[in-house]
Amino acid sequence: MREGKFISAIIAAAGQGKRMQRKINKQYLNLHDKPILAHTLEIFEKCTSIDEIIVVTHENEVTYCKEKVIKYYGYDKVEKVITGGSERQESIFNGLKEVDEKCHIVVIHDGARPFIREKQILESIDEAIKHKAVGIGVPVKDTIKIVDEGKNIMNTPNRKFLWAIQTPQTFDYQLLLQSHKRAIEDGYIGTDDTVLVERMGQKVKMIMGSYDNIKITTPEDIYIGEAILKNRKLDDR
């Protein structure tokens, strides 16, 4: 089904990671033997359907990323390492402008989500070919409360309709590009790429992710990530 489709991956690695409380950005912290970003890129490097990878990083870390991650680990599919913007949305738009002109499908993924599996990437691509826009996520386990500014509970939405969105988020390239351009025209800043597509009136197909596809954001996540890696190594025996 992917035959004849040129597929680009944009890896968002420009975040400051202030919640990590470290001098170095979170993408370059080590999990076991290598940086978080290297774990992430390895999965996309090995993914049979990914034709190119664009890494978007902080302007002060472009050289470091190229030398200490891309070149050091030999990721041949990484075509460009570019500078991000002040917001994640701007960083993704920068990446969209740099993909190969042959791009049909674009996969957007967080550099700090190193536990995505290849089969989930491939499923998101297949569904995007059919539906144009795909999000990956998991049903929430906890009851969610909507509160007001005074932290008073206002509403309790039905949990069966609530999902926690993850990445990758995968799209028809032209659809996502036009969605970003519309957001720029409207002065709109969204929290992810699916909401930009939703604003265009396009339905977004949701597919099941996994609960271990965590985004490493706080110091506690490092310990959780180490446990996930250890468990996966045991599973692979």
Residue 104 lies in domain: 6-235
Indicate whether 28 belongs to any domain. yes
Who contacts 3 (Cβ-Cβ below 8 Å, separation ≥6)?
A: none
> Quick check: helix, strand or coil at residue 16?
coil
pLDDT of residue 15: 75
Indicate whether 186 belongs to any domain. yes
Neighbours of 143 (CB within 10 A): 10
14 CB-side CA count, 13 A? 25
pLDDT digits (tens, 9 = 90+) for 167-209: 999 999 999 999 999 999 999 999 999 999 999 999 999 999 9
Is the CB of residue 20 less than 8 Å from the CB of residue 26? yes
**pLDDT band at residue 20 using 50, 70 and 90 as cut-offs:** low
Number of domains in the chain: 1
What's the pTM value of the predicted model, to 2 decimals? 0.94
CATH number for the domain that contains residue 54: 3.90.550.10
Average pLDDT over residues 32-49: 95
pLDDT of residue 17: 58
Above pLDDT 90, what percent of the chain?
Answer: 87
Angle in degrees, 0-180, between the axes of helices 118-131 and 36-46, rounded to the nearest 10 = 60
Is the CB of residue 206 less than 8 Å from the CB of residue 163? yes
Indicate whether 1 belongs to any domain. no
> Quick check: helix, strand or coil at residue 69?
helix
